[in-house]
Each structure stands twice: as structure tokens, then as C-alpha cells.
Amino acid sequence: MPGPSPGLRRALLGLWAALGLGLISLSDAREVASRAELPFLRAAVAQEPLWADLQPRVALVERGGSLWLNCSTNCPRPERGGLETSLRRNGTQRGLRWLARQLVDIREPETQPVCFFRCARRTLQARGLIRTFQRPDRVELMPLPTWQLVGENFTLSCRVPGAGPRGSLAMTLLRGAQELIRRSFSGESPRARGAVLTATVLARREDHGANFSCRAELDLRPHGLGLFEKSSAPRMLRTFALPPEPPRLAAPRLLEVGSERHVNCSLDGLFPASEARVYLALGDQRLSPDIILEGDTLRATAAATASAEQEGARQLVCNVTLGGENRETWETVTVYSFPAPVLTLSEPRVPEGKMVTVTCAAEAGALVTLDGVPATAPGQPVQLQLNATANDDRRGFFCHAALEVDGEILSKNESTELRVLYAPRLDDSDCPRSWTRPEGPEQTLRCEARGNPAPSVRCARPDGGAVLALGLPGPIARALAGTYRCTAANVQGQAVKDVTLTVEYAPALDTVGCPERITWLEGTEASLSCVAHGVPPPNVSCVRSGESEVMEGMLRVAREHAGTYRCEATNARGSAAKNVAITVEYGPSFEELSCPSNWTWVEGSERLFSCEVDGKPQPRVECIGSRGTSERVLLPLAPPGPSPRAPRIPSELASGIYTCNATNRHGSMVKMVAVSVESPPKMDESTCPSHQTWLEGAEAAVPACTALGRPSPQVSCSREGGPWPQRMHVSRQDAGIYLCLATNVHGTDARTITVGVEYQPVVAELAASPPGGVRPGGNFTLTCRAEAWPPAQISWRAPPGALNIGLSSNNSTLSVAGALGSHGGEYECSATNMHGRHTRRITIRVAGPWLWVAVGGAVGGAVLLAAGAGLAFYVQSTACKKGEYNVQEAESSGEAVCLNGAGGGTGGNASAQGGTEPDGTVETPAGGEVFSIQLTSA
């Protein structure tokens, strides 16, 4: 039978030792009691192994922090003891079999303190392990390039100095919030500190303006501490793209001194175009361009103005700079000076008959021409002399200068005008002897005289009457017609001329000379004439509407003379027209076409009997029943023209003979009319149902439709959208819309028939998602689709024991969440309607490695629960019975702290939340139990 565990043995030994010490303390003679107990202690030592213990055995302290170590032994009376370490100490507390020491400013990555006691000529030792960690307080991302060319690689480098242990460290390089690369340093030596992470990244356009950063994470959660994170300051990257081609430069080849010309410089493929800088210069003169950006294209436009000091060949340069690189192009521009020629007159204003000299001159190098006469040589002037006449007044002179610059001929012009003073002249072209004007508003009469200075002109009647307002718009009335004397005068003299004004106006036809209505009687003689007024005297003619022959002289009136005649008066100023209506009256008369002897009335047609009688004035017509009808029954007649009172439309009319009588003031006439009654085709729901149902597989049929009407209608049916199907039996393709037409001589009645074909259900689709099978705990869905009319009802049959099954609203979808083994098996989908039922089946398999995981997890969980219960019972029975050491007041304080330890190298430490740490997260020396004391941090 195995003996008690080492821990139990140590507990019993401690109990016996405490009892012995208590008994000794009650005696006044310490030595006597000690000698009396010595054999007992030796016996206890012989039975229990002696040990030294150091708590905590393994500790993780932040660099620069402090830690209390508790060194204890089970030796009843140790001779001496101590704690060996290279770390700085701050204070020490001692007891009979223990000592506690505070270590401060711990900076070494790893140290191993040693606890020792001398007992019964033996040295008892216990070694510990203290490791330090340092948070990632400094995370440094190396500077990025000032500009990075798109499509080339650049390096991201990040360092975290001093942070550790490196094995618990992870580093991440980020673009904004996106992780580019992440690296953990697990497996590194516990003494390793600090880390560097480097990555090569391809520069893209999207990276322009992006922030790059580095994040460091020190994960000490496996050691019972937290997760420490730190990020570097972000660094912004600026990327660019610059094409290899030089900019395109558009500039004038020649530039005149003092003139302004625009130059354009453009470059495509820039990114970012807004960051590009443009330098435009003409020689030593820098230009100020206006920049226009269109996507990746830059256009710079500047105004270039050359000075006299720049005359000659100059270089126009365009330079585009982006990201520290530049592209440049240039053009040669010739700057030249070319003043306009000088044109002078000896006197700009001269009296008629005086000599005038005209001179055209230009600077050296230019060849001038005066009114087509060239100079003898470049730089020489040209002169012209003339004797001024009235025809030379306002004569223009043209001076042209030509200059050759860099192989190109340039030219400039100058012009001037000569003024000659002379007496007024009234020419027929400017002041005609006769005026002819139409009557009307806003007309202008002009009588202009030539002369310099400009003469004044006045036109008035010789008798001192009316004066014409020359040159001003105003009304021309008939009263202004007559002869006027016009006088033109200036300081050089005067001129006189008589003119005649004639005012014309269009013809007018009044009611007295041309009445609008005339009535003639058939068989009498009459004539049509109209009188018009106008200047010049108008010509009047009357023509019947629709004809071209003019009516002239006397004629014998016949009814064909009735109608509308257009009388038109015309002269040079216009025309006037008037319609004259001639009415010819005569007695009544019947005609077969306008009043037929036989008439058929169609029911529902709303037609009335039309019996139109020829006669002026319009005769009054009445048709009364005689044979075959009720006596004195009136036949409803259609009015001869628009009537304010609509006649009553009969709902029924009797067949028979009716007598029609027409009367006006010139006589009367009688006619007999035979009336028959018929009706158009008519179909309704009773004779032709709008919805008809066929059954698939039955003998082929046609829509059943008949029609009412007189004469009897013919009924035919056709399918809309296609030809009539030729089948022996009904198919579901026969369903659709059919059009049935009933026809007789009075019209057609149409009716639309909807034919539905019903058929038994067929399960067209039964599918599983995902296909194949499903793992335990997974989800799957079964979809069932049926074809049927009327629509089928869907039902399911599942394997026995399959629970938690969900169905959609129309049962077409079956779904299972968290599949179990009971969900595996055969599922059946059934579709049913009034014509039959159809089913399909599908098999679902639930299997996979997770089934074994679940079973193993359940068994393992049961074992762990049993072991945990036994451990809890043991710990509860032994808690605070040994290793109870208080750092602060040792034996004298009533607030001693009891800490449960872990022995034998097992991971016995629990987290703050009560969870168990993973295996291997705490290093514990092998052998013996471990007791810990409460620690303090710096």
C-alpha cells in the first residue's frame, strides 16, 4: 500500500513541530525543555525529508520593478539561512524557519536566486527564476521617401527597441487600417529583447497621401498579465507618376515687341497633377501661367509680351517638375519690332479747288505703298498730289507697309479721309422729284442734299401750308398728297427743288356698294355687281367659289346659281375681298338617294331615318305610319342639319309602310317608305362564357360560343399570339387567350375567352444545399419545387427522430440548423392537388471528424470534472495548514495572507477571472510543492 504523499507528510511534520514549540514556550526552563525534545525532533527529522522552498519559484516582473521573495524550510531548528541573488535589496524580514526579502530595480532579463538553510549538518537549497519584461513604449517607423515613383518598390522598416521578451512580441505594418504584414517572434530566447520588422511594398497611385504605421503587441496574457500595445506615429507617403516624354509646347514663331501672345504647355500622364510645378520663361523673362488640370493632364497657358531689349531670337522654355524629377522642352521665338506706317495730309479740310499733298512713310526696312503705288525702295516714302473737288469729299487714302522677318512677310496698314468744303446740291438720287408712298403709320420721307458742311433741308407747300418732317418716321395720310418746295442751304450757298407727294391706299368694299347677302327666285332675271374705292382706282371682279369664270351681265336665275361668290377689288397698293352669299329659293322635291323608299333599321345602332328634301327654304318633313304599323305612328327622322334638340332615339320600331310629306312656302310633296327591322350580333356570358377550363389528356376541344342577331351571325374562334393547335388531346400548351368573333351584315361582336388547362402535380426539383452531406452541427436546406395547376400543396416526411426542422411559409423549403445524427436519412417531398399526387425522395448523410471530436470532448470533460472535484476536496482540506507566511508582519499580524501554491511542476496558477492557464505558460522547478506569497509591484 503506498505511503502518504510528500505534501501530507510535510503537513503532519509541521503540525507536530508547532505542538512541540507550543509546549516548550509554556516552560520557564528553555534549555531543559529543548534537551527533552531533541530526541523527538531527531526522530521527526529522520522520518520526514528536509527541504527548502522559495516562493515564488518563477516570477515575471516589469523591468525596473520590485518583488518580495519568501524563503522557508521545514527544518525544526535551522542553524542559518539566506537568499543569494545579484539583485538590489530594499528590506528583509525573518522568522525561525523563514525569511522574506524585497528585490528592487530588477533589470536583468533573467536571474536565478537561491534560497538555502543549514540544518543537521546539511545544506538545503531551492532555486527560483525571475524574468523581466519591458513594454513596447517606443515604436519607431523609419522615415519614408519624400516622393516615391509609382510602380517601384519602397521599404517599410519598424523597430521596437528594448521591448520583450521577444518571444511574446508581435509586430504589424499597416497602410491606414489595412494590415500589410504581421510577424510574431514566438520561440525566441527569453533573454532576447527588441525587434525589427522590414517589408518591401510596391508603390501605387492609391498610396498617395496614405498613412503608414507600425503596431507592436506584447502579449503576456499566458503569464497572467495583460496585452500591451503601442503604435508608431503615422508617416504619409507621396507617390507620383511622370511620363518620359517632354511637355508639348505651342507658341508663336514670331512675337512683336509690345504685343501680347499666348503660349501653351501641356503634359499627359501626370499623377498627382495638382502637385506638379510648371516653369515657363521667354529668354530671361519668367511667365506667369494659368494652370488647368483635367484628370492626369496638365495645361499651362501664359501671356508673353516682348520688350525692345529682347529683339532677336529668344528661347521659350517649359519645364514641368514633379516628385523631384522634371521634363523640359523649348522652342525658338523671334522677337521683332514693326511700327505701323504714317499717313499724313497737307490739310485735312480744304475748300473745293485747292491742292492737297498725301504722304505715306514707314521706318527703315519696310516697303510702303500708297493707294497701290509702291515706294522706290524700302524705307522711302510715297507722295500723291490732287486738286480737291466735291467728289473728293470723304475720299479715303490707304497706306500699306510690308516687312520681312525670319523669312515671313508681315504687313500693317493705315488709312485717313479728306474733307472738301462745297455748296449744297440736290441730286435726284438723294432727293427725288416725286414721291409715291402708301398710306400708313411710321414712314420716312427723305430729301438729302450733298454739301460740306452738311446742309439743312426744308420741304413746304408753296402756299405756306403743310411742312414735311424729313428724315423722321411718321404717319402718311391722304391729306398730305400734293407739291412741295425743298430748299437746301449751308455757309457755301443754297439749292431749291420742287417735289410731288402721291399717297396711295388699298381698295375698300362697303355694304352700300357690295351687300353681303342677296336672295333670288328661280326663273327670274338678275345681275351681280360691286363698287370699290381706292387709289389708284381698283378693278373689281366677282367669281363663284370653286370656279374661275367671272360673273358678268344679266342671267336667268336657276337653282345652280345659288352659292357664295367672292368679289375682289385690286390696285397697286393692295386688294380687298368680300364674300357675297346668293340664295335661290324653290319648292320641295324628293330624291331616292336622299330619301330612300326602303329602309332597314338596326337595333341599338342609334340611327334615325334620313329623309332629306330638296327645297328653299328648307321644307318641313313628317313620316306617319299607315299599313302594317300602328296608325298615326311617327317615324323618327334625322334632322337635316345641326339641331339644338336631339331627336329621341327609339328602343323599338315596328316594320311597315310610312307616308312622308314635305312642305315649304313654295309647295308640298308626298312619298311612301317601307321599313324593316334587323339586329347586329351579340354575345354574352350566357352564350359564350369568358372563362373555360379544360383537362389535360381529354379529347381536343374548342371554345363553346354562340351569338344572337338578325340575320343569324357566324361564330369563329382563334387563339391569340399563334395558330390554332392541331392536337388529338388537350395539352397544357393549349391554355391561353382565345378570341371569338360573331359576324353578320350589321357588324361584328368580339369576346375574349380565357382557357385554362388543369393538370396533376409533378415534383420537378428536389435539391439539397450544401449537396452531398453535412457535418455534425452544420446547417442544410432542402428545396422542393412542383409543377401543377391548380397549384399543388407541398408536404414533407422526415426521418424518425429528426427534430428542430423549419419550413418556409409555402412549405417549399425545409431547413435544419445544427444537424445531428438523427437528421440523417431519407426525406420525402409530396405535391398534391385535386388531380393527383407525386413524390420524390432524397437522402441526407450527417458525418464528419467533428463527431469524434464531440464524443472525445464529452468523455474528456467528464474525466476533467472528476479530477477537478478530487483536487478541490484535497485543496480545501489542506488550505492554510502549511506555508502560511505573511511578508509584512510574519507571526504577529492577525491579517496573514494564505496563498495556494502549485507543486510538482503542474500549472496550478489561476487567472483573475478564475480560468486555468494553458500548459507551459508558467515555468515551475520540478519536485516538491510550491508556496507563494503576496507580491508588490514598482
Q: Which long-range contacts (CB under 8 A, 24 or more apart) does 878-883 make?
A: 878/7, 878/8, 878/11, 881/11, 881/14, 881/15, 882/7, 882/10, 882/11, 882/14, 882/931, 883/53, 883/55, 883/72, 883/929, 883/931
Any residues with CB less than 8 A from the CB of 902 and at least 6 apart, and which?
908, 909, 924, 929, 930
Q: Do residues 736 and 721 make contact, with C-beta atoms less than 8 angstroms apart? A: yes
> What is the C-alpha to C-alpha distance for residues 350 and 345, in angstroms, rounded to an integer?
11
pLDDT band at 629 (very low <50, low <70, confident <90, very high): low
Reduced to 3 states (helix: H, G, I; strand: E, B; else coil), residue 453 is coil
- Cell 386688294 maps to which residue? 575
User: Among the listed ranges 6-10, 182-186, 910-914, which one has the minimum average pLDDT value?
Assistant: 910-914
pLDDT in tens, 60-89: 999 999 999 999 999 999 988 999 999 999
- Cell 498627382 maps to which residue? 272
* Amino acid 866: pLDDT: 45
Position 280 pLDDT exceeds 50: yes
Position 159 pLDDT exceeds 70: yes
pLDDT in tens, 427-443: 898 899 998 889 888 88
Helix (H), strand (E) counts: the chain: 3, 68
User: CA quadruple 916, 921, 925, 931: dihedral positive or negative?
Assistant: negative
923: closest CA among 165, 219, 84, 130?
A: 130
pLDDT band at 54 (very low <50, low <70, confident <90, very high): very high
User: Among the listed ranges 206-220, 262-276, 882-896, which one has the minimum average pLDDT value?
Assistant: 882-896
* Amino acid 628: pLDDT: 59
Q: Do residues 117 and 75 make contact, with C-beta atoms less than 8 angstroms apart? A: yes
Burial 491-529 (b: 16+ CB within 10 A, else e): eeeebebebebebbbbbebeeebbeeeeebebeeeeebe
* Amino acid 700: pLDDT: 77
Highest mean pLDDT among 133-142, 662-671, 692-701, 896-905: 133-142
What percentage of the chain carries pLDDT values higher than 70?
A: 83
> What is the C-alpha to C-alpha distance for residues 212 and 232, in angstroms, rounded to an integer?
9
Q: What DSSP line would sit under 240-255, residue for residue? A: EB--SSPPEEE--SEE
Range 910-921 average pLDDT:
33
Instruction: State how beta strands 227-231 and 211-219 pair.
Output: antiparallel
> What is the C-alpha to C-alpha distance for residues 874 and 870, in angstroms, rounded to an integer?
6
Q: At what angle do helices 30-47 and 6-25 cross, to 10 degrees?
A: 170
Q: What is the maximal distance between C-alpha atoms in the chain?
A: 187
Q: Do residues 460 and 454 make contact, with C-beta atoms less than 8 angstroms apart? A: no
pLDDT band at 46 (very low <50, low <70, confident <90, very high): low
- In whole angstroms, how large is the CA radius of gyration of the chain? 64
Question: How buried is residue 344: exposed, middle or buried, by Cβ count under 10 Å (0-12/13-18/19+)?
Answer: middle
pLDDT in tens, 123-133: 999 999 999 99
Higher pLDDT, 562 or 246: 246
Residue by residue, what is the 3-state secondary structure of 790-815? CCCEEEEECCCCCCCEEECCCCCEEE
Position 157 pLDDT exceeds 80: yes
Range 246-274 average pLDDT:
92
Any residues with CB less than 8 A from the CB of 511 and at least 6 apart, and which?
none
pLDDT in tens, 449-476: 999 999 999 999 888 778 888 888 889 8
Highest mean pLDDT among 141-145, 633-637, 864-868: 141-145
> What is the C-alpha to C-alpha distance for residues 781 and 653, in angstroms, rounded to an integer?
74
Position 854 pLDDT exceeds 80: no
* Amino acid 88: pLDDT: 92
Position 107 pLDDT exceeds 70: yes
Question: How buried is residue 438: exposed, middle or buried, by Cβ count under 10 Å (0-12/13-18/19+)?
Answer: middle
> What is the C-alpha to C-alpha distance for residues 79 and 858, in angstroms, rounded to an integer?
54
Alpha-carbon torsion, ordered 258, 260, 261, 264, to 10 deg: 120
Q: Do residues 798 and 807 make contact, with C-beta atoms less than 8 angstroms apart? A: no
Position 333 pLDDT exceeds 90: yes
* Amino acid 895: pLDDT: 33
pLDDT in tens, 439-448: 888 888 889 9
pLDDT band at 400 (very low <50, low <70, confident <90, very high): very high
Residue by residue, what is the 3-state secondary structure of 398-414? EEEEEEEECCEEEEEEE
Distances (CA, A) of 602 to 432, 624, 630: 81, 19, 20
